[in-house]
Chains A and B, each alone.
Chain A
Amino acid sequence: MVKKIIVVDDDPGVRYTVKAGIEALDEDYQIITVENGMKCLELLGNNQIPDLILLDVMMPEMTGWETYDRIKENEAWRKIPIAFLTARTDKIAKDAGDFLAEDYIEKPAKIPELKKRLDKILNK
């Protein structure tokens, strides 16, 4: 069964790496990438509900935290699992991420390892 994941990151390199890497390792994964939180909310608004959202934290205009809040505010989207993929490794962000999200993955991440952690969240 195909698992759909939305990757939200302002860095095109990261978006490409995750999409190309994960899809190359496992054809069951379908990765949709967007460059900011607004685009992600638009996608959700178009009824494109994924199995998981992978959020960057530090993005211009709307941060990962804000995006997280906006998703959780919506009754229909509340149940979508969210994981963070971020370069922020300080304790405060890490603690907050661990508490809020399904997982908190630090950049730069090896794709095979990232895939293992996604598998775990999605019970694959």
Chain B
Amino acid sequence: MKLNFSLSLKITLMVVLLSAIVIFSLTYINIEEQAISLENVYSDKAVILSKALDNSIENQDELIDKQKLQDYILDFSKLNPEILKLNVNLPDKEGLRVFVSTDIDSINISSGQYNNFSYENDAVVNIPIHTNNSHTITVITPINLSGQIYGTYEILLSMNESYAAFDIRAGNLIMISVISLFILIFSFLYLLRKIIVKPIIAFRDATKIIGKGNLDKKIKIKSQDELGELSNAFNKMTNDLKKSRNKVEEYNRILENLLDQKDEFIGQLGHDLKNPLQPLVGLLPVIMEKEKDPKIKEHLSILIHNVEYMRDLIIKTLQLARLRSSDTKFDMENLNLMQEVDNVLTSQKLFLNENNINAKSMIDGNIYVEADKLRSAELFNNLITNAVKYTPEGGGNLTIDAKKGKDFVTISIKDTGIGMTEEQLNKVFDEFYKVDTSKCEMDSSGLGLSICKRIVEKHGGRIWVESPGKGKGTTFYFTFKPANEKINNNI
């Protein structure tokens, strides 16, 4: 379920992020608007208060009577408990100055730029101040007596009471946003699963089944969206695949049939060639033995050589045809690789010495393989003969080694012979291919390595060849299945 998890997670994370941004910014804007409107309410209240003050002060003289005005604003602020401080600012030479105040300490202090602004333009100025536990607003309004502006009122109001109620509302608003965010996420996850993840899982499972070769599998998604279209296209594709696979299988059968016919033909031909060859193979050595004339003896030896070559060719062709046949069964047993190779090297000792080849096996005594005893011996014989054949007359070295892997044992046969070019490496396992036609024309059937390839493939292994280049030697590699040595010990 890895796909399910990560895809949902990715999309969900994206959606959560987006919706959180949207919801929380909406909430923020909402709260901000409410706060501003709350301030406006207080500002309006302050304007009403200033109008009431204006009405109470009847003329300019009353405004200048400092003691009377002081008493009056003190009374006024007592009547309106929201008023924390009330200043009356009047102009002098340098600008507005606090003339009277409910806060005695503030008197005669210059009353700042906002007061001047309000005084000259007949405007209302709000200065809200919010701290953690107090919300205040200073409202500056003009003193307007019968259309004439004399100075400003500076009214400091407490908004704490209203804000207490507002905080609760804002808290509720945030909680509602969080809850709606969660509802959104879960409904989104549900829809995501139903609309996208489930069809994708259906596709994934179908692909697995089809991958295993069952092309009859159909995807059942009936939705009229892109996924529905995709499933139709997918089903059509599997159908087409099935058709072309059937075609390929049919051609394959025809091909197999032809190959079988070819092998049967070669087998029959090879067999029928053996009888006519019998007098030649049989009698030529007898004539050779009886013949005294050296000239005729030389002719005979050429005849014998050719007849031997023909015989070799027929035997190998038959062998190759038989190795291809499905009737040919291998007797698989657990073999100690080192022992088998030592046996082969011992039987080839004379041949190797004649050709000045220094052969040695580096195989570990603990490596066991699952192989047919006779066929694997033939494989080693063929590869060794091949290596010797392509080593110059001066001689060389031949090293056989094996490495045990987890699933197979890789065996290498390395020579110091004439090496191979890239092109030769590719063709060396082809039937009737010979690397050096001039030297080996009469000695090689060109079938030895094809036989090796079939023997290895019948063992379920692989054979390949590597060479650093002309004159630098060649290494043949092939793989066998490893065998459990314990089973072998029990036998």
Which A positions have Cβ atoms within 8 angstroms of B? 11, 13-14, 16-18, 20-21, 24-25, 87-91, 107-112, 114
Residues of chain B contacted by A13 (CB below 8 angstroms): 275-276, 278-279
Q: Which residue of A lies closest to B275 (CB)?
A: A11
A111 and B290 alpha carbons, distance in the complex (Å): 13
Known contacts A24-B286, A25-B286, A25-B289, A89 near B279 by CB under 8 Å: no
Q: Are B276 and A89 in contact (CB under 8 A)?
A: no
A91 and B327 alpha carbons, distance in the complex (Å): 11
> How distant is B454 from chain A, measured CB to nearest CB, in Å?
15
Q: Which residue of A lies closest to B284 (CB)?
A: A110
Q: Does B471 reach chain A (CB closer than 8 Å)?
A: no
Residue-wise, chain B 270-290 has the 8 Å CB interface mask toward A (1 for contact) of 010011111111110110011
Sampled A-B contacts (7; CB under 8 Å) = A11-B275, A21-B283, A89-B315, A108-B274, A108-B277, A109-B282, A114-B282
Q: Are B278 and A11 in contact (CB under 8 A)?
A: yes
Known contacts A87-B274, A108-B274, A108-B277, A17 near B290 by CB under 8 Å: no
Q: Are B285 and A24 in contact (CB under 8 A)?
A: no
Q: Are A107 and B274 in contact (CB under 8 A)?
A: yes
Identify which of B274, B276, B286, B322 contacts A112 (C-beta below 8 A).
Answer: B286
Residue-wise, chain B 212-242 has the 8 Å CB interface mask toward A (1 for contact) of 0000000000000000000000000000000
Q: Which residue of B lies closest to A114 (CB)?
A: B282
Residues of chain A contacted by B285 (CB below 8 angstroms): 110-112
Residue-wise, chain B 256-281 has the 8 Å CB interface mask toward A (1 for contact) of 00000000000000010011111111
Main secondary structure, interface of A, reads: helix
Q: Are B286 and A111 in contact (CB under 8 A)?
A: yes
Residues of chain A contacted by B414 (CB below 8 angstroms): none
Q: Which residue of B lies closest to A87 (CB)?
A: B274
Q: Are B281 and A108 in contact (CB under 8 A)?
A: yes
Q: Are B322 and A108 in contact (CB under 8 A)?
A: no
Q: A14-B279, A24-B286, A110-B282 are in contact. List 15 more A-B contacts (CB 8 A).
A: A14-B275, A14-B282, A16-B279, A17-B279, A87-B275, A91-B328, A107-B277, A108-B274, A108-B275, A109-B282, A110-B285, A111-B283, A112-B285, A112-B286, A114-B282
A16 and B290 alpha carbons, distance in the complex (Å): 18
> How distant is B252 from chain A, measured CB to nearest CB, in Å?
27
Residues of chain B contacted by A114 (CB below 8 angstroms): 282
Known contacts A11-B275, A87-B271, A87-B274, A108 near B286 by CB under 8 Å: no
Residues of chain B contacted by A111 (CB below 8 angstroms): 282-283, 285-286
Residue-wise, chain B 311-333 has the 8 Å CB interface mask toward A (1 for contact) of 10001001100100000100000
> How distant is B255 from chain A, measured CB to nearest CB, in Å?
25
A17 and B275 alpha carbons, distance in the complex (Å): 10
Q: Which residue of B lies closest to A10 (CB)?
A: B275
Q: Are B290 and A89 in contact (CB under 8 A)?
A: no
Q: Which residue of A lies closest to B375 (CB)?
A: A91
> How distant is B374 from chain A, measured CB to nearest CB, in Å?
8
Which among A21, A89, A108, A110 has the highest number of chain B CB atoms within 10 Å? A108
Residues of chain B contacted by A11 (CB below 8 angstroms): 275, 278
Q: Which residue of A lies closest to B278 (CB)?
A: A108
Nearest 4 pairs of A and B residues by beta carbon: A108-B281, A87-B274, A17-B282, A108-B278
A107 and B311 alpha carbons, distance in the complex (Å): 9
Q: Are A109 and B318 in contact (CB under 8 A)?
A: no
Q: Which residue of B lies closest to A88 (CB)?
A: B271
